[in-house]
Amino acid sequence: MPPTPPLLTTLEVARILGVRPATVYAYVSRGLLSSHRNASGKGSLFDRAEVDMFLAARKQPTVPGIQTGITLIRGGKLLYRGHDAIQLASVASFEEIVSLLWTGERAYVDLPSDDTQRRLAEAVAAPLPAIARHTDRLRVAVAALAASDPLRFDTTPAAVTSTARALIGTMVDALPRATRRAGRATGPKSRKAVPTAPVAQRLWPRLTTRDATPGDHNVLNAALVLLADHDIAASTLAARVAASTRAHPYSVVGAGLAALDGPLHGAASGLAYPLLAESMSRPDPIGTIADKLRSGEPIPGFGHRLYPDGDPRATALLDIMGDTRARSAAERLAEIMRTRSGLRPNIDIALAALTLEYDMPAEAGETVFAIARTAGWIAHALEEYNDRPLRFRPSGEYVTPAPAESGNGKER
């Protein structure tokens, strides 16, 4: 029986992977590596075999190199078509960012819904149970809208952008309006949104019953801008794979929504939501983190392997929120995490702060993520439609014993 490989400390793992210890903790928080508490409870230990497999996976490309002119993440900055996305979040509308990602030009173009499509989307989602999330409804609606469009296979740029503008608008307007939840005081019901109003204004009453000020709409708009694209994230890769087969734009968005559904991607803010909510109900947030660590689970909302010095999207969104109770709670947690493990907040904890501050349900962050990232998926589809089709065909590494060779009908 071979000896059991020794467990590695955080510093040893960091040395093997060529990263900082904080980045190792980021891998753990994103579910890419698993860790165990050592006997003293003061450090983490890692399985050598898992670390070796993780390192091998990083070194071996699994898909063709993707050349893109959409988003650049470098040196802690996020750029859309060469423009600083963090700065854009304070001055640009989501509609402008959609145009920038799709055409390279920043221009405000409406994202209206189609009344016929909206009624269809509402009708097919209506039978879903009350527990269905917004993203469940979006997946059903997008599939139905595809079936109703006989020209959906037109992948010329003009057709794709026209289809996608109506699709985003319809996805927003077909979502059910928020209803007042028991035990929570809210403002008067929001007035009916004008169909050609900005997406942030139309999405707001789908997420909360609170009346919004123009400043509140600006916060939601900023979240949409910051989440519009993030290079080749998991859902974007799924969308590009679909586009490489020449799947129509609806299927591209459907592929993205499917990958987004994972708790380590688009739904991650929903995991950070209860953590932040609990910390707001306790005098000392250290107890909240201690309880999470005791369960052996990573702390959601902290760490990002692309931003070892901190996710600028989180900082920007929390700053735009202003001096709010949820922001203060998020910053208290952030200080504890930074001091203890070097992990900085990521966009998930900022989304959780937004949803808590404005009386939105835990799923609201995922909804914002899905609507925003649809813009990015379409941008990547437009690139992929202009590239060689069926580029993505990696080969699996067969790891089980090979079948025995045979000859003349007899095993040998």
Q: Which residues of 209-229 are buried (b: 16+ CB within 10 A; e: fewer)?
A: bbebeeebbbbbbbbbbbbbb
CATH 3.30.70.100, applies to 71-266+363-385: no
> What's the pLDDT at 169?
97
Q: Which CATH architecture has domain 268-357?
A: Orthogonal Bundle (1.10)
Sheet holding 71-74, edge to edge: 71-74, 77-80, 83-84
How far apart are alpha carbons 330 and 325 in whole angstroms?
9
Select from 159, 156, 153, 161 the least CA-distant residue to 103.
Answer: 161
Per residue of the chain (412 residues), what is the pLDDT tens digit? 445 567 888 888 888 888 888 888 888 877 788 888 776 666 788 888 888 888 876 665 555 678 899 999 999 999 999 999 999 999 999 999 999 999 999 999 999 999 999 999 999 999 999 999 999 999 999 999 999 999 999 999 999 999 999 999 999 999 999 986 533 333 334 444 445 799 999 999 999 999 999 999 999 999 999 999 999 999 999 999 999 999 999 999 999 999 999 887 888 899 899 999 998 988 787 887 887 777 667 788 998 889 988 999 999 999 999 999 999 999 999 998 888 888 899 999 999 999 999 999 999 999 999 999 999 999 999 999 999 888 888 777 676 666 665 555 444 4
CA angle 222, 225, 227 (to 5 degrees): 110
**Fold matches, 7-59 and 71-266+363-385:** no
Ranges assigned E (strand) in 10-89: 36-37, 44-47, 71-74, 77-80, 83-84
How far apart are alpha carbons 199 and 172 in whole angstroms?
7
User: Which contacts of 399-404 are long-range, i.e. CB under 8 A and separated by 24 or more positions?
Assistant: none
Q: Which CATH architecture has domain 7-59?
A: Orthogonal Bundle (1.10)
| Phi, psi of 66, rounded to the nearest 5 degrees | -105, 115
How far apart are alpha carbons 167 and 121 in whole angstroms?
10
> What's the pLDDT at 187?
36
How far apart are alpha carbons 152 and 236 in whole angstroms?
20
How far apart are alpha carbons 16 and 10 in whole angstroms?
10
Do 376 and 229 form a contact (C-beta atoms < 8 A)? yes
Q: For tokens 């005791």, name the residue.
A: 294
> What's the pLDDT at 190?
41
Tell me the CA distances in angstroms from 102 to 152, 345, 377, 382, one per residue in order: 18, 29, 10, 7
How far apart are alpha carbons 102 and 157 in whole angstroms?
9
Claim: this prediction has a pTM higher than 0.85: no
> What's the pLDDT at 185?
35
Instruction: Give the tokens for residue 74.
Output: 């470098």
**Per-domain residue ranges of the chain:** 7-59, 71-266+363-385, 268-357
What angle do helix axes 234-244 and 249-260 make, rounded to 10 degrees?
150
Tell me the CA distances in angstroms from 216 to 184, 196, 203, one per residue in order: 19, 19, 12
> What's the pLDDT at 25?
83
